[in-house]
C-alpha cells in the first residue's frame, strides 16, 4: 500500500485545493501517471503516481483544502474487478395484422396523394372495402377540419441558473484585488501617446529582428523599456510600503498580466534594465506560453516591482487597472485607434493610444505620477531615446578607462622617479629585506617594462579618447540633467589630467620628489574620474575599490552630497602632498 502525498507547495504558499481527480477508486494506475491536480494561490500542481497498482481509496475529495504532506489517497497492488455490463432485453415487436380487404385501386391512389392512411377510413363497399367515394369524402373532411392549435413549448427541465464553486486561482484573484482596493489609496491618471514612431520602427526592423533573434518584434518590449526609463526617473513608482517604511527597489522586475482560461496570471520578467529588446520579447513569449499551458512555477510570479496590463488586445479603449499589491504602480495599455490630432495648426490623423497609470497615492504624489506618464510618452514617441541606456553605460565606461589611463601614467612616473632618484647618486630607498629597486628590477628588465609600458599607455590613451568622444556624443542627445552634469565633471577632470600630463612631459628637469607628486596627482585624478563614473569609490589616495559593477547605469545619478565629500577629499590630499614635498627633508634629498 502506497500513500499519495501532497507535494511541496512553494515559498509563501501554505495550502492548496483538490481541483480534479483523474482516476476513480478501483482504476488501475501506472508509475508516473497523473492522478490529481492541485490548485494553489498562483499555479496548478500535478501529482503523479510513484508506483504501479490500483487506486484503492481517495481520502481527499475534490474541493477540499490540503496542506503539504497530507495523504490524498492510497494505491494498492490488486487490480480492480471490472463488472460485466447487464444484458439489455430487446423490445418485442408486434406483428402487424394484415387488412381483410385492400382499398380499391382508385381509392388507394387518391389516399396516397392526400397522405391519408386507408386504415383510418371505414369503407362502405362490399366487406367494408374502401371505395373511391369513401376516399374523396375523407379527403374533403380533412381539408375542411380546422388545424389543431400548436401545443405550448415544454419548459426546459434544466435549471435556469448554475452555481459553480470558484477555483483556487479565482478566489485568490478576487481576494487580492479587493485587498488592494481596501489597503492602497489608489488613484488613476491618464495620458495619450502617438504610436507612429513605435509602429514605424517596428515595421522597419521587424523582418530583420525576427531573422536575427528568432522572435517577433512586438509593442510590449518598447513599453517595458519605456517604463524602465520612467521608473529610473521616478523611483517612488518602483517602491512599496512595508509598515511605516518605504522600500525603494534598485532593480526592475516587470510583471506582465496574461489572461488564461483559468483566470488572470501575472508572471514576472526579471532585470528588464539589462535586457535588450530581443531579450524582453523572448522572455515575454516564454512566460506567455507557460501561462497558457498552466506550467508557470511559483517563482515565475513572485517579486515583481511594477506591472503592465494590455487590455488593448481585447479592444479596451480606456480602463482603470487595479494595483498588483504590494506594488505602487500599474500601467494600463489600450487599443490603438486612428484619431484626428492638431499639429502645428494642421489636422492630421495619428494612431493614438490612451495610457492609464494607477498608483498608490500614499507613496506616489500626483506630480510624480503625471511625470511618469510623460516620460513613458516621450520614450514611445521618440523610440531612439531608449538607446540612451547604452549611451549611459558608455559614459560610465569612459570614466573608468580614463581612470585606468591616469593610474597607468602615474605608475610610469613613479617608476621613472625611482630610477632618476638613484641615478642622481642619492641613497636608494630599501625595502624590509634591505634590497633596492635596482636589485628587484635590473636595467634590462626596466627597458623591457618601459617598452611595454609605452605601448599599453598609448593604447589606453587612444581608447580613453575614443570613449570620451562617444560619451560626449551621448551627452548631446541626453535630456537627463544628472548625466549632463556628470559629463561636465568628467570633462573638467580630463582637462586637468591632460594639463598635468603635459606639465610632466615638458618639464624634463623635474626632481624625483616632483615626479612622485605627479604620480600621486594621477592617482587622485584616477580616483575622481572613477567616482564620477560611480563604478569605484575612494578607499585611500590611490586605491580603487570596485563595487556594484552590475548596476553601472543606475550609478550615474551620483548624489551631490557625495560629490562634495569627494572634492573635499581630493583637495585635502593635494594640500597634504604639497606640504610634504615642500618640507626641508625633501629639499635636502633633492639636493
**Do 393 and 552 contact (CB within 8 A), yes or no?**
yes
Q: Which of 112, 179, 207, 361 does the annotation list as catalytic?
A: 361
For residue 131, what are the CA distances in angstroms to 114, 120, 128? 15, 13, 9
Locus of grid cell 532593480: 251
Q: What is the dihedral of CA 103, 105, 111, 116, to 10 degrees?
A: 40
The H or E element spanning position 500 is: helix 481-506
Report helix, strand or coil for 536: strand
Return contacts of 197-204, CB within 8 angstroms, 24+ apart: 197/380, 197/381, 197/382, 197/383, 198/222, 198/380, 198/383, 199/336, 199/351, 201/383
Q: State the pairing for strand pair 44-48/28-29.
A: unpaired
Q: What cell does 178 get?
A: 479587493
Q: What is the dihedral of CA 13, 18, 20, 25, to 10 degrees?
A: 140
Report helix, strand or coil for 184: coil
In sequence order, which residues have a C-beta less than 8 Å from that of residue 110 and are 6 or more positions away? 132, 135, 136, 139
Cα distance between residue 242 and residue 482, in whole Å: 29
Beta-carbon count within 10 A of 282 CB: 17
365 is catalytic: yes
Is there a cis peptide before residue 235, judged by omega within 30 degrees of 0?
Answer: no
Locus of grid cell 362502405: 124
First-to-last CA distance in the chain?
Answer: 98
Beta-carbon count within 10 A of 207 CB: 11
DSSP state for residue 97 in the 8-state scheme: P
DSSP state for residue 555 in the 8-state scheme: G
CA angle 368, 371, 377 (to 5 degrees): 145
Q: Which of 365, 439, 440, 576 does the annotation list as catalytic?
A: 365
Cα distance between residue 479 and residue 469, in whole Å: 18
Cα distance between residue 576 and residue 565, in whole Å: 16
DSSP state for residue 364 in the 8-state scheme: S
Q: What cell does 271 get?
A: 532585470
Which active-site residues does the annotation give? Answer: 361, 365
Amino acid at each position: 500500500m502506497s500513500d499519495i502525498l501532497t507535494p511541496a507547495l512553494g515559498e509563501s504558499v501554505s495550502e492548496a485545493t483538490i481541483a480534479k481527480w483523474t482516476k476513480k477508486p478501483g482504476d488501475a494506475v501506472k508509475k508516473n501517471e497523473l492522478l490529481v491536480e492541485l490548485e494553489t494561490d498562483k499555479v496548478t500542481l500535478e501529482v503523479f503516481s510513484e508506483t504501479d497498482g490500483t487506486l484503492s481509496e481517495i481520502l481527499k475529495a475534490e474541493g477540499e483544502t490540503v496542506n503539504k504532506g497530507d495523504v490524498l489517497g492510497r494505491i494498492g497492488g490488486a487490480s480492480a474487478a471490472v463488472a460485466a455490463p447487464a444484458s439489455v432485453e430487446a423490445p418485442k415487436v408486434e406483428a402487424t395484422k394484415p387488412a381483410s380487404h385492400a382499398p380499391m385501386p382508385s381509392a388507394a391512389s387518391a389516399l396516397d396523394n392526400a397522405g391519408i392512411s386507408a386504415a383510418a377510413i371505414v369503407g362502405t363497399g362490399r366487406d367494408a372495402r374502401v371505395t373511391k367515394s369513401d376516399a374523396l369524402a375523407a379527403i374533403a373532411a380533412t381539408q375542411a377540419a380546422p388545424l389543431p392549435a400548436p401545443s405550448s413549448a415544454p419548459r426546459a427541465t434544466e435549471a435556469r441558473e448554475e452555481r459553480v464553486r470558484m477555483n483556487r486561482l479565482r478566489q485568490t484573484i478576487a481576494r487580492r484585488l479587493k485587498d488592494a482596493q481596501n489597503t492602497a489609496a489608489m488613484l488613476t491618471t491618464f495620458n495619450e501617446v502617438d504610436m507612429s514612431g513605435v509602429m514605424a520602427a517596428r515595421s522597419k526592423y521587424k523582418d530583420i529582428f525576427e531573422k536575427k533573434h528568432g522572435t517577433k518584434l512586438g509593442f510590449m518590449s518598447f513599453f517595458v523599456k519605456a517604463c524602465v526609463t520612467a521608473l529610473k526617473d521616478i523611483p517612488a513608482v518602483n517602491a512599496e510600503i512595508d509598515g511605516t517604511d518605504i522600500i525603494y527597489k534598485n532593480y526592475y522586475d516587470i510583471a506582465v498580466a496574461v489572461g488564461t482560461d483559468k483566470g488572470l496570471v501575472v508572471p514576472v520578467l526579471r532585470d528588464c534594465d539589462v535586457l535588450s529588446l530581443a531579450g524582453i520579447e523572448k522572455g515575454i513569449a516564454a512566460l506567455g506560453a507557460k501561462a497558457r499551458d498552466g506550467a508557470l512555477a511559483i517563482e515565475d510570479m513572485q517579486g515583481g516591482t511594477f506591472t503592465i496590463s494590455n487590455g488593448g488586445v481585447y479592444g479596451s479603449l480606456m480602463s482603470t487597472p487595479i494595483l498588483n499589491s504590494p506594488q505602487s504602480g500599474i500601467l494600463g495599455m489600450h487599443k490603438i485607434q486612428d484619431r484626428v490630432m492638431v499639429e502645428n495648426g494642421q489636422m492630421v490623423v495619428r494612431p493614438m493610444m490612451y495610457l492609464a497609470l494607477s498608483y498608490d497615492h500614499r507613496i506616489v504624489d500626483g506630480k510624480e505620477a503625471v511625470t511618469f506618464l510623460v516620460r513613458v510618452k516621450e520614450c514611445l514617441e521618440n523610440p531612439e531615446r531608449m538607446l540612451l541606456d547604452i549611451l549611459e553605460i558608455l559614459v560610465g565606461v569612459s570614466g573608468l578607462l580614463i581612470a585606468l589611463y591616469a593610474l597607468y601614467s602615474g605608475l610610469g612616473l613613479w617608476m621613472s622617479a625611482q630610477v632618476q632618484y638613484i641615478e642622481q647618486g642619492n641613497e636608494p630607498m630599501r625595502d624590509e629585506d634591505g634590497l633596492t629597486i635596482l636589485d628587484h628590477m635590473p636595467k634590462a628588465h626596466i627597458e623591457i617594462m618601459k617598452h611595454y609600458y609605452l605601448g599599453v599607455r598609448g593604447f589606453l590613451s587612444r581608447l580613453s579618447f575614443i570613449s570620451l568622444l562617444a560619451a560626449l556624443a551621448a551627452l548631446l542627445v541626453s535630456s537627463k540633467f544628472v548625466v549632463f552634469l556628470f559629463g561636465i565633471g568628467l570633462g573638467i577632470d580630463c582637462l586637468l589630467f591632460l594639463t598635468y600630463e603635459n606639465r610632466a612631459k615638458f618639464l624634463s628637469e623635474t626632481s624625483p620628489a616632483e615626479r612622485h607628486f605627479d604620480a600621486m596627482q594621477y592617482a587622485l585624478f584616477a580616483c575622481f574620474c572613477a567616482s564620477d563614473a560611480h563604478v569605484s569609490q575612494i578607499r585611500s589616495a590611490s586605491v580603487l575599490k570596485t563595487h556594484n559593477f552590475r548596476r553601472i547605469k543606475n550609478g550615474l545619478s551620483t548624489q551631490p552630497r557625495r560629490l562634495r565629500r569627494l572634492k573635499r577629499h581630493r583637495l585635502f590630499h593635494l594640500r597634504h602632498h604639497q606640504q610634504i614635498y615642500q618640507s626641508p627633508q625633501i629639499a635636502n634629498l633633492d639636493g
